[in-house]
Amino acid sequence: MATFEQLIKDSWKLAEEEHAATYIDEVFIGGLVSTMLESGHALFDISSTGDYHNMMFENLGNQDRVVIQIQHTSNALAEAKTLGHRMQFTCGYGMRAKKMGKLISSSWRESLSGSLGDIGSIMYDVQGNYLFASMPLYIKADDYIDMVTLVPNFERIAEDISAIIKKLKEFVKVNVGA
């Protein structure tokens, strides 16, 4: 039979688990921002509605930009324990266009059909003088955070972000005249 003190401790542990399920996305974002800063990017812009998080980073060396949008879709503890902490994760890579005329031409829109076969597609967007290619993904925060200590796996975040950026950069280079 449990003691009163043990019941209180167990109750607090359950309450903390329930609460932690609601802020795992912030832990992931902390790891992501740290990783991007470490790789030579500056945090250019950040906004959040609580459910949707938007960030823009700029490479201090070449002024290329990375845009990241995150939505934590499994805030409830039961859902997170069953399915994992799922997030909609969109990463975009943008380069300054050398020739804006190329971006405006009608043939430009036709050339931006970056299909990845059965696994998805690359979306393109023009923001100012930048052309962005982005890829929507679903990820599990559990793969990037130790769920016991709530410490991000910085190495894993860096490897995966680097792989995404590298591939998106290839798509953008074709279209900006780099």
Task: Return the domain boundaries, the chain.
Answer: 4-73+83-176
């290839």: which residue's tokens? Answer: 170
Query: Alpha-carbon torsion 11, 16, 17, 21, what sign?
Result: positive
Q: What is the pLDDT of residue 109?
A: 44
Mean of pLDDT values over 81-93: 87
Task: Answer yes or no: is pLDDT of 164 > 80.
Answer: yes
Q: Report residue 100's pLDDT band, with 50, 70 and 90 as the boundaries.
A: low
Q: Tell me the per-residue pLDDT of 57-83, one tens digit each, with 9 for 90 and over.
A: 999 999 999 999 999 887 777 777 788
> When comparing pLDDT for 16 and 59, which is higher?
59
Mean pLDDT for all residues in the chain: 82
Q: What is the pLDDT of residue 69?
A: 95
Distance CA 119, CA 99 (A): 31
pTM, full prediction = 0.79
- The number of beta carbons lying within 10 Å of the beta carbon of residue 13 is 10
Q: What is the pLDDT of residue 75?
A: 72
Q: What is the pLDDT of residue 145?
A: 94
- Give the pairing type, strands 86-96 and 65-72: antiparallel
Mean of pLDDT values over 40-54: 93
CATH architecture assignment, domain 4-73+83-176: 2-Layer Sandwich (3.30)
Q: What is the pLDDT of residue 59?
A: 95
Percent over 90 (pLDDT), the chain: 45
